[in-house]
Chains A and B, each alone.
Chain A
Amino acid sequence: MKNRAFEEAFSDVRLSDTARERIIDAAIDKAPAWARRRVLRPMRVALAAVLAVSLLTCTALAVSPELRDMLWGDFSDEAQNYSPDESAAQVYDGVEARISSALTDGYIMRLHVEFRDTEGDRLREIYEKNKELHQEFPVMGINVEGPEGASGPMAPYDMSMICAPKIIAFDEETGILTLEFFQQTMNPPEGMNKISLDIPTGFLGTKAVTVEVPAPEGMYLYTDDDGYVTDTARPVETMTSVKIGWRLTAPVETLTVRHAVTGPLEAHVSDIGLTVYAEMGKAPAGWNSDVTVTLSDGTALTFDNGGLAGTMSGGIADRLLTTIEFAAPVDVSEVASVTLGGVEIAFD
C-alpha cells in the first residue's frame, strides 16, 4: 500500500525532459550507450584506477606505459608489500590469469588481474561485448589469508560487498584483458600474509555461470544472459574455481591498523582507507556519509576536497560496515581523529 506522505514527497522527483529526449535519441541512434555518457563516468573510471593500485611489478605488468602511470598514480611511492609467488598465475580453459597488482589493509581489498588467452583471441570478443554493455562478470571472492592458510571472515552477505570485477584495460596488441576486483572484509586474520582470488572456471565465457555464495535461506546468485546478477532457489550449475594469489613479503606500515572505539562506533585506519563499524540504531546520523579525517597538522580530509574518495557500505545483523578510501596515501601516524556524523574519534 502506498504511503501518502511518500507520494507527496517524491511527486516532483521526475526525469527531466532533456533526459527523456537524450534517452530516446540514444535508442534511435543505436550508438553504444557508453560512448554517449557524459564525461563524468570516464573521469570516475580514471579515478578508480588511480585509487586501485599501490604496487605493480614490471615483470607482471603488460598494460601500456600510459595506463601504468595512471594506475600507479599517487600510490606510486608506496612500498611493495605483496609480490608474486608460485600461485600468482594459473591457466584455466586456455586462459592465463595473473595478478598484476594488489592493495589491501586487511579490510579493503583490491586486485588487478590480467587475462591472456593462450589458445585464441576470445578475450577481444568479450571485451568488445562488455565495454558496450558496461557488463559485470560473475561474482568472485578475494581472500586474505593468515599463517595457517585460514581466510579472514568474509564480508556479510550483501550485494554491495561481494567482489565486483570490472574491465579497466584491454591491450590491442597483446590481447591482454585487465580487470579490477574490489571487496571488503570484516576482520582480517592475525598475521595476514597472503591475498588471493578465487576465479570460477569459465567466468569469462558468454554463457551464464552460477556462483554459489554463502547465503541464508538457501539462496544462490547467478549471472543471467544479460549479465545481471540475480537470485535463484537452487544452483543452476555448480562452479569450480582456480585460485591465484600474491604473498606478503614482509610486514609493512601499510598493514598497521589503528583502532579506536567510541560508543557505537569503531574505526580502523590505514594508509589507504578507513573502515568503520557501527551499531545498528545507535550510530549517529551521517556516520557513513558525513565523514572527516583530521591530520595532526589540522588538515581535514572530506569528500568535498578529494581527500576521501568514496564509500562502500553494507551490514549484517546489528552491525554495519563502511569502508572509505583515501584519494592518496595517508601517513597513519599523522591521523589525529576521525569524525563520523559529528562524533569525533581521536586516535592516540
Chain B
Amino acid sequence: MTQGEFAEAVEKYGDMVFRVAFSSLGRREDAEDVAQEALLKLWRADRSFESEEHTRFWLIRVTVNECRRSARWYKRNVPVEEVPERADTPESRELLDTVMGLPEKLRVAAYLFYYEGYSTREIARLVSAPEATVRSRLSRARERLREILKEEENI
C-alpha cells in the first residue's frame, strides 16, 4: 500500500472505524486513539482484500479488538455529554444519547446491526461472541430503544 492509497483508505474508512470505536468506548479521544491504531494496522498489514466489504469487515474486527484492549485498561464510564456536538434534529440527538447510554456491548451490537447493517451472525464473528449472545444484546438494546424508535419499521 502506498502512502497515497493509505491516505485514501483513511478518508474512506476513517469515519466507519471511528464510529465503531466511539460506539464502544463512548469518548472521542479514546475513539480517535483506537481509530489510529486500527488504521495503522491496515497500513502495517499491507495486504490485499477480496473486496471492499472484506476490507470493511477486517477493519471493524480490528477496531473491536483494539477497543477491547483499550477497555481492559480501566474503562472509564461514558458521560453522555461527551457525545460530539451536533446540529441535526432533537430526535436524532435523543437517539444518539440513548444509544450511548446503553452498556458498551449493547450499543456496539446495536450500532453494527442498525447502522452498519450486519446480521447477527456477522456481528457474532466481528465481536467474537456466540450468535445467541449477540441476539440477546440486541434484544436488550431494542427494549431500551423501542420508545424512541417505535416509528421505525425496522425495529
- Which residues from chain A sit less than 8 Å from chain B, CB to CB? 1-16, 19-20, 22-24, 26-28, 33, 37-38, 40-41, 44-45, 47-48, 51, 134, 136, 157-160, 164, 166, 182, 215-217, 219, 221, 226, 228-231, 280-281, 285-286, 288-291, 303, 309-314, 320, 325
Interface contact tally, CB-CB below 8 A: 184
B84: A residues at CB distance < 8 A? 12-13
Tell me whether B74 and A47 are in contact (CB under 8 A). yes
- Give the distance in Å from the alpha carbon of A280 to the alpha carbon of B96 in the complex: 22
Tell me whether B129 and A158 are in contact (CB under 8 A). yes
A44: B residues at CB distance < 8 A? 73-74
B10: A residues at CB distance < 8 A? 20, 23-24
Majority SS at the chain A contact face:
mixed
B76: A residues at CB distance < 8 A? 303, 310
Tell me whether A231 and B74 are in contact (CB under 8 A). no
Interface residue B109 (Cβ < 8 Å from any Cβ of A): no
Question: Of all chain A residues, which has the CB nearest B21?
Answer: A15
Closest 5 CB pairs of A and B: A310-B74, A15-B18, A3-B114, A6-B114, A15-B14
The listed residue (A3, A47, A159, A291) touching B115 by CB distance below 8 A is: A3
The listed residue (A14, A51, A215, A230) touching B74 by CB distance below 8 A is: A51
Question: Interface residues of B, CB < 8 Å — how many?
Answer: 77
A231: B residues at CB distance < 8 A? 125, 128
Interface residue B39 (Cβ < 8 Å from any Cβ of A): yes
Tell me whether A313 and B140 are in contact (CB under 8 A). no
- Give the distance in Å from the alpha carbon of A19 to the alpha carbon of B115 in the complex: 22
Tell me whether B19 and A13 are in contact (CB under 8 A). yes
The listed residue (A15, A40, A41) touching B35 by CB distance below 8 A is: A15
- Give the distance in Å from the alpha carbon of A27 to the alpha carbon of B92 in the complex: 35
Question: Of all chain A residues, which has the CB nearest B68?
Answer: A159
User: Can you list 15 A-B pairs, Cβ within 8 angstroms, ordered by A?
Assistant: A2-B116, A3-B149, A4-B154, A8-B91, A11-B88, A12-B84, A24-B6, A24-B10, A33-B36, A33-B37, A41-B33, A159-B129, A219-B130, A228-B61, A228-B62
A10: B residues at CB distance < 8 A? 19, 23, 96, 111, 115
